Amino acid sequence: MSRLYRLLPTARRLRIANDVFQEAPFARSSAIRIAGPTCQHIRWQHAQAEATTSAAGADHAPQEQPDRLQKQIKYTSESYPNIQRDSRFKELNSDDVKFFKDLLGSESAVIDGVNQDALSDLEGFNADWMKKYRGKAKLVLKPDSTEQVSKILKYCNDNLLAVNPQGGNTGLVGGSVPVFDEIILNLSRMNKIRSFDDVSGVFVADAGVILEAADNHLAEHSHIFPLDLGAKGSCQIGGNVATNAGGLRLLRYGSMHGNILGIEAVLPDGTVVDDLSKLRKNNTGYDLKQLFIGGEGTIGIITAISILCPRRSQAVNVAYFGLESYEKVQEAFKEAKHQLGEILSAFELMDHRSQALYNKATGARLPLEAEHPFYCLIETSGSNTDHDSEKLNSFLEHVMGEEIVSDGVVAENETQAQNLWQCREGISEASQHFGGVYKYDLSIPLPELYSLVDACRDRMNEAGLLSADDESKPVLDVLGYGHMGDSNLHLNVSVRRYNKEVEKALEPWVYEWVSKRSGSISAEHGLGLAKKEFIGYSRSETMVRLMKQIKQLYDPNGIMNPYKYI
Amino acid sequence: MSRLYRLLPTARRLRIANDVFQEAPFARSSAIRIAGPTCQHIRWQHAQAEATTSAAGADHAPQEQPDRLQKQIKYTSESYPNIQRDSRFKELNSDDVKFFKDLLGSESAVIDGVNQDALSDLEGFNADWMKKYRGKAKLVLKPDSTEQVSKILKYCNDNLLAVNPQGGNTGLVGGSVPVFDEIILNLSRMNKIRSFDDVSGVFVADAGVILEAADNHLAEHSHIFPLDLGAKGSCQIGGNVATNAGGLRLLRYGSMHGNILGIEAVLPDGTVVDDLSKLRKNNTGYDLKQLFIGGEGTIGIITAISILCPRRSQAVNVAYFGLESYEKVQEAFKEAKHQLGEILSAFELMDHRSQALYNKATGARLPLEAEHPFYCLIETSGSNTDHDSEKLNSFLEHVMGEEIVSDGVVAENETQAQNLWQCREGISEASQHFGGVYKYDLSIPLPELYSLVDACRDRMNEAGLLSADDESKPVLDVLGYGHMGDSNLHLNVSVRRYNKEVEKALEPWVYEWVSKRSGSISAEHGLGLAKKEFIGYSRSETMVRLMKQIKQLYDPNGIMNPYKYI
């Protein structure tokens, strides 16, 4: 793909993003699109993922810094002392390992910490990339076919061996690593693209295909994978589906629930759910595949997906502007939907504190000289460069003429576009630059979306915990940003140091606030281990009970990804 | 809404649709967008629906021609002698009716054929609008709140009374009328629009709101309901969701599975599934609402929905063209997706036989003078009239320059656009004009989509059943058309008279042919009673077994819409 960033005629008071941007300290890469982690973490993750990927053929597990990891990361069982190993689950023995080795054939498909000291090999699979969760698995299995996955799960189910499905291990809620000694079933060797039809746009591939590899394949055929996120170089499409990943293209292309046409999955008892339809329309019975989308591997393992992929856009434009109030932000969003309509592909919100902190942490100059209470980033993607530019320009002239937007810049080339994006994507890192950060990924109905940030700041102030200057106060700032187009707010409480008082003031207050507005306590990151306890803030008792019924139906022994989700 | 049809500059060999179109005998109306029925039927249906709708407040059931109906329509129990009434189900008595009357309060909310002779009132609810199915219900209940629905279902479940949920009763597969004496639970009184937020585009309404009423409400706010179909004046949005309706906007706006954000539903035991989220992102547990989308009322009754609605397009263009082969049709579709990209809102296919029959049946002149093996209709909808016209024009110049398309016309006003659409929408009626028609609604992977029509024609020829002239042969013609953009083929076998030999030659051959190509035997119409027996051609035994598990889980007594679906 070649993305074209076109020069737009300058609108009234509208300036073209200039070279000062290029002073920004980090170049934008797909890796830093993800919320939360530091660059360092991401780099480690990428190294790990590459090791895992290269291991797909025949090699061993990643050996990236295992000693450092071992020392650094607390076992999950220690961080969560209330969670006990389920005594129903059998402990692995040599006979089990022999069964798996015979089944998988290749030595490289089994990392055996039962019979041999493979601890360093295992660590990369036991620990999550944020270094927050660490399991004690003694066995990693890397099947290379759906049949093997089926035989593994049937054996585990018959023998009450717990299983932790693992894709690219890029999750943010501890869902992809074991809590205790669950067997890790890693999908990385199931990495074949099965088919792509460029008339219908239907792409079929194994679950272990890396998202970026899928997208690159589609790019050769002028199509695009309808999901984009920071971890694309490491995450696997099966994991994306299992976690119902949202990401950057949701506003434009919609969710997995609409785009996934078919799924092949394996149930705990070894049943292969053969629902890998390539059809856009198929009204013949319950749409069971939907339960696996966002099911986080708790009722079965997705082994392949079929997905509808749109044509790749030939034109991409990016603009950044300042606004005087959250009301104006909402007006701008309405106008963008109205005037940019079918080409609007991103509408991102950043408050001025997030931009000031980004500036302070990185030294990067901001796109606009004057300060504004709010900033937005708009991206358009369409099939005609001139038309898109005209639409964007006319939109900007309108919103500036009507004083909805106070000031703005438009990127005139890809570097400038990347730098504008960096003002949005660099916030996550900046917010923990001065010590640490408490982060919340929330869905809140748009009219009240930003009120939480003000309410949270007030709360920190009232508790005497916040000061911009007084180093004795733990909280440095409270900021909000996120995917405005998806009603998805990232609330960050930037701290000088982690502090129990701050935690007490935040939780469960944040969850209660969100719950009162019928919001979601996990917009796109899922439940995993981190949010399991809080589901009641977003779902009624009835819904949780009905979900537990589903879990019980498909996984009566509870062997799939235990201790997590619901 | 005002739809603007703009004049496009004439492309090479491209002509503007002219007035000859206006000779077409029927004006296009939303009512004749649906496949299958004759105008007469639709008119009856509309009359019935209007009666039902007007009954929403306080009145009685439709009394439209009940005597004629009674005489005309065979009882389903006679057409399907193999289906026996399930003896587990209790028969209604006066005590039951008293319970419901006390519960619903209003006399008009209960049509009681148990204690009184309400047969004529009941007929409109017992018969489907195609006059193919007719039940023997003695009781119609019209609750006006979710709480009432809950109490009704709990009572029915406790007392083993079978229930037939009913929305607008516009289905094509006999799903919305009883087979025996199931209680009809009609949603027409639950017709309140609950909210619309024009920033997020989220619309929340009771299940019984008529689709057109929902769309009209949205039009006032410059938004559109992301579903459009012929029965929009009668069908209810709850029924649309319960049947996962496809319709005319699917190519552009995607399916219900992607657009529905929340559902409120009642399970047979009275449990209210309170999942009426307004959030675009909410990754907190299994997405159970998806089971109700396309569940055809077999596991519960949808009482309200929350749906994401896009902005209404300001510009609509329609073009019609002739092509020399199905390969060229596929090329044209690829090019349309490429060049029209984000504004393509329909790509419809018609073979020359379908157009010839339309011409023969109606006397309407066709848009193109010369005959072509295939015709396509393209619609664009976008936010900028000039841009859309330019894109469409440039697309047409390209496909004609490359000789992908042989000839074409573009509508220059709304009447012309309607007449072009009529060439597509009039086929269904035309195909039964000379006697009758065997109709199949199929999904087939695009590369093979049209092969079925040729194969079917060959089969009819080989069996000596087809002749254009010889009146002694039952089959007049075999034709194909449909929603190319959704891989959805309508195969019509137009006959002089219904004939057992033709039926034997068609079934199960058509289903086997589709099954071999991993197609769907019901693309958008659902299973209902008509397709129940054939699910095995589109779903594996495993999938059917898993679906039955779900049915058993939610409706262990099997009271919900029995004898149908799976």
For domain A193-308, the question of CATH label 3.30.465.10 is answered with: yes
Under a CB-based contact definition with an 8 Å cutoff, are residues B305 and B262 in contact? yes
CATH topology of domain A14-33+313-428: Alpha-Beta Plaits (3.30.70)
Cα radius of gyration (chain B):
24
Q: Do A387 and B391 touch (CB under 8 A)?
A: yes
Cite the residue boundaries of each domain of chain A with CATH code 3.30.70.2740.
Answer: 431-553
Q: So what's the ipTM on this one?
A: 0.88
What would the pLDDT profile of B424-455 be if each residue is shown by its tens digit? 989 988 988 999 888 899 999 899 999 999 99
Nearest to residue B86, comparing CAs of B139, B153, B163? B163
Which residue spans of chain B are classified as CATH 3.30.70.2190?
14-37+312-428
CATH of domain B202-308: 3.30.465.10
Which CATH architecture best describes the domain A39-186? 2-Layer Sandwich (3.30)
Angle in degrees, CA B39, B43, B45, rounded to 5: 115
Residue A153 near residue A269, CB atoms below 8 Å:
yes
Amino acid, single-letter form, for residue A557 = N
B543 in contact with A at a CB cutoff of 8 Å? yes
Question: Closest partner residue to B342 among A287, A342, A553, by Cβ?
Answer: A342
pLDDT surpassing 50 at residue B120: yes
* Cis upstream peptide for A25 (omega within 30°): no
pLDDT tens by residue, chain A, 566 residues: 222 233 333 333 344 443 333 333 332 222 222 223 322 222 223 333 333 322 222 223 333 344 444 457 899 999 999 999 999 999 999 999 999 999 999 888 999 999 988 778 899 999 998 788 999 999 999 999 999 999 999 999 999 999 999 999 999 899 999 999 999 999 999 999 999 998 889 999 999 999 999 999 999 999 999 998 878 999 999 999 999 998 877 999 999 999 999 999 999 999 999 999 999 999 999 999 999 999 999 999 999 999 999 999 989 999 999 999 999 999 999 999 989 989 999 999 999 999 999 999 999 999 999 999 999 999 999 989 999 999 999 999 999 999 999 999 999 998 999 999 999 989 988 988 999 888 899 999 899 999 999 999 999 999 999 999 999 999 999 999 999 989 999 999 999 998 989 999 999 999 999 999 999 999 999 999 999 999 999 999 999 999 999 999 999 999 999 999 99
Residues of B in contact with A518 (CB under 8 A): 277-279
> Looking only at Cα atoms, what is the longest distance across chain A?
75
Across the interface, which of B199, B202, B274 has its CB nearest the CB of A333? Answer: B199
Q: Which of A259, A272, A342, A524 is best to mutate for the B interface (most B CBs within 10 A)?
A: A342
Closest CA relative to residue A375, chosen from A442, A316, A420: A420
Statement: residue B224 has pLDDT above 90: yes
The phi, psi pair for B215, rounded to 5°, reads -65, -40
Residue of B nearest to A547 (CA): B286
Q: Is the pLDDT of residue B549 over 60?
A: yes
For residues A375 and A321, the answer to whether their CB atoms sit within 8 Å is yes
**Best of B218, B241, B259, B279 to mutate (most A CBs within 10 Å, chain A):** B279
- A486/B280 touch (CB, cutoff 8 Å), yes or no: yes
Burial class (CB in 10 A: 0-12, 13-18, 19+), A85: middle
Chain A residues within 8 A of B544 when measuring between CB atoms:
285
Q: Which residue has the higher pLDDT, B500 or A354?
A: A354
Q: In terms of pLDDT, which residue wins out, B65 or B3? A: B65
Identify whether B165 is preceded by a cis peptide bond (ω within 30 of 0): no
| A116-120, B310-314, B331-335: range with lowest mean pLDDT | A116-120
Give one DSSP letter per residue of B357-416, joined into a string: HHHHHH-PPPSSSS--SEEEEEEEEES-HHHHHHHHHHHHHHHHHTTSS-EEEE-SSHHH
CA angle B141, B178, B43 (to 5 degrees): 85
For residue A230, the model assigns a pLDDT of 78
Contact yes or no for A22/A419 (Cβ under 8 A)? yes
Best interface-test mutation with A: which of B196, B282, B517 has the largest number of A CBs within 10 A? B282
Q: Does domain B14-37+312-428 have CATH number 3.30.70.2190?
A: yes
Kindly state whether B566 is in contact with chain A, defined as any CB-CB distance less than 8 angstroms: yes
Q: B1 pLDDT band (50/70/90 cuts)?
A: very low
Does B327 touch chain A if contact means CB atoms closer than 8 Å? no
Collect contacts of B500-509 with beta carbons under 8 A, ≥24 apart.
B501/B463, B501/B465, B501/B474, B502/B438, B502/B460, B502/B465, B502/B474, B502/B475, B503/B438, B505/B459, B505/B460, B505/B463, B505/B465, B506/B438, B506/B456, B508/B534, B508/B537, B509/B459
Cβ of B19: how many Cβ atoms within 10 Å? 9
Query: In terms of pLDDT, which residue wins out, B46 or A350?
Result: A350
User: What pLDDT shows up at residue A129?
Assistant: 82
Map residue A417 onto helix, strand or coil.
helix
**Sequence ranges of chain A with CATH classification 3.30.70.2190:** 14-33+313-428
Query: Which fold, B57-186?
Result: 3.30.43
Quote the minimal CA–CA distance from B489 to chain A in Å. Answer: 11
Report DSSP state, residue A140.
E
Nearest-angstrom CA–CA distance, A511 and A500: 17
CA-based nearest residue to A223, from A312, A306, A308, A307: A312
pLDDT at B258: 97
On whether any CB of chain A is under 8 Å from the CB of B313, the answer is: yes
* Residue B413 in tokens: 């006003």
Q: Where in chain A is the domain with CATH 3.30.465.10?
A: 193-308
Query: What does the pLDDT read at residue B108?
Result: 87
Positive/negative CA dihedral, B80, B82, B87, B88: negative
Q: Give contacts of B303 with chain A, Cβ < 8 Å.
A: none
Nearest CA in chain B to A280: B486
Residue among B254, B295, B37 nearest A288 (CA): B295
Q: What pLDDT is attached to residue A46? A: 32
- A280:B486 CB<8 A: yes
Decide yes or no: CATH 3.30.70.2740 for domain A431-553. Answer: yes
Record the tokens describing residue A393, joined without a space.
């320009």
Can you spell out the DSSP letters for B30-60?
Answer: GGGGSSS--HHHHHHHHHHHHHHHHTTTT--
Residue numbers in B near A447 (CB within 8 A): 197, 199
pLDDT at position B528 over 70? yes
Evaluate whether A134 touches A151 at the Cβ level (below 8 Å).
no
- Residue showing tokens 């929408």: B425
**Angle of helix B385-401 relative to helix B326-339, nearest 10 degrees?**
150
By mean pLDDT, which of A330-344, A506-520, B115-129, B159-173 is the weakest? B115-129
For residue A341, give the nearest of B285, B382, B549 by CB distance: B382
What strands lie across the sheet with B163-166, from one edge to the other?
A: B110-112, B139-141, B183-186, B163-166
Closest-CA distance, B519 to chain A, in angstroms, reads: 7
The answer to whether the Cβ–Cβ distance between A280 and B255 falls below 8 Å is yes
A17 phi-psi bin (left φ>0, alpha ψ -120 to 50, beta other): beta
pLDDT at B50 over 70: no
Burial string for A456-486 (b: 16+ CB within 10 Å, else e) reads bbebbeebebbbeeeeebbbbbbbbbbbbbb
- The answer to whether B485 touches B344, Cβ cutoff 8 Å, is yes
**Beta carbon pairs, A and B, within 8 Å:** 276
CA-based R_g, chain A, Å:
24
Residues of chain B with CATH 3.30.43.10: 57-186
DSSP A477: E
Q: What is the pLDDT of residues B8-36, one digit of tens each?
A: 333 333 444 433 333 333 222 222 222 23
The β-bridge relationship of strands A407-410 and A14-16 is: parallel
Q: What is the mean pLDDT of chain B?
A: 87
Judging by beta carbons within 10 Å of its beta carbon (0-12, 13-18, 19+), is residue A15 exposed, middle or buried? Answer: middle
Contacts of B565 in chain A (CB under 8 A): 285
Confirm if A96 and A104 have CB atoms less than 8 A apart. Answer: no
